[in-house]
């Protein structure tokens, strides 16, 4: 697999089953298909998929809040395609689009136990800001991270 063959594009309704499949295998508390559909309709420019040989291998969901704050809501890569730079490319692509839409700050929340994702964000220049206790349904805390892009 070469990253040169990877296409990052807006997600389509027809991608929902595959996105949900990756979501359900990647998260303890996955978003429902209904919520994924809602997010696709409400943030069509910043809900993106990574596609390789016509197969969706990852996705990122982000949105614009208050005209200036970009919020990364979810990112996941199919476990068979991880550690090849796809997560990084999805993040960079979403950041570019959020910047184009006027965002100057990016925010995300990540489980305190999720060191893989935290490493990805730290490498991309996100800074750890504060912890929200009991953020997830199972009681786990979230680390809130920010990146200034403006
Ligand atoms: C987090 C996730 C999206 C990363 O996707 P990916 O395509 O594997 O990430 P990349 O290959 O672009 O990795 C970029 C960097 O992130 C860090 N990283 C990624 N996975 C890691 C792991 N398992 N352990 C430690 N660091 C990791 C590394 O610094 C890596 O750079 P390197 O490979 O040169 O060392 C993927 O692991 C995933 O889908 N996890 C399950 C869902 C999830 O936790 N999403 C985040 C919710 S906040």
Cα(92) to centroid of ligand 1, in Å?
Answer: 13
Whether the Cβ atoms of residue 77 and residue 43 lie closer than 8 Å to each other: no
Whether the model clears a pTM of 0.95, i.e. scores above it, the answer is: yes
Which domains are seen in the chain, by residue range?
Answer: 3-148 (3.40.630.30)
97-143 residue pLDDT tens: 999 999 999 999 999 999 999 999 999 999 999 999 999 999 999 99
57-110 residue pLDDT tens: 999 999 999 989 999 999 999 999 999 999 999 999 999 999 999 999 999 999
Cβ(116) – ligand 1 distance below 6 Å: yes
Cβ(94) – ligand 1 distance below 6 Å: no
7-56 residue pLDDT tens: 999 999 999 999 999 999 999 999 999 999 999 999 999 999 999 999 99
Cβ(42) – ligand 1 distance below 6 Å: no
- Specify burial of residue 57 (Cβ count, 10 A radius: 0-12, 13-18, 19+): buried
């Amino acid at each position: 697999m070469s990253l040169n063959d990877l296409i990052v594009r807006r997600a389509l309704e027809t991608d929902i089953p595959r996105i949900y499949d990756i979501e359900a295998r990647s998260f303890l508390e996955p978003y429902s298909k209904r919520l994924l559909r809602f997010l696709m309709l409400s943030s069509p420019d910043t809900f993106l998929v990574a596609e390789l040989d016509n197969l969706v291998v990852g996705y990122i969901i982000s949105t614009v809040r208050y005209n200036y704050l970009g919020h990364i809501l979810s990112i996941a890569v199919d476990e068979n395609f991880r550690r090849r730079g796809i997560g990084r490319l999805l993040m960079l692509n979403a950041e570019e689009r959020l910047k184009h839409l006027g965002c100057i700050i990016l925010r995300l929340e990540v489980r305190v136990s999720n060191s893989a994702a935290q490493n990805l964000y730290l490498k991309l220049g996100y800074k750890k800001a504060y912890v929200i206790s009991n953020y997830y349904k199972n009681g786990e805390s979230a680390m809130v991270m920010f990146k200034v892009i403006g």
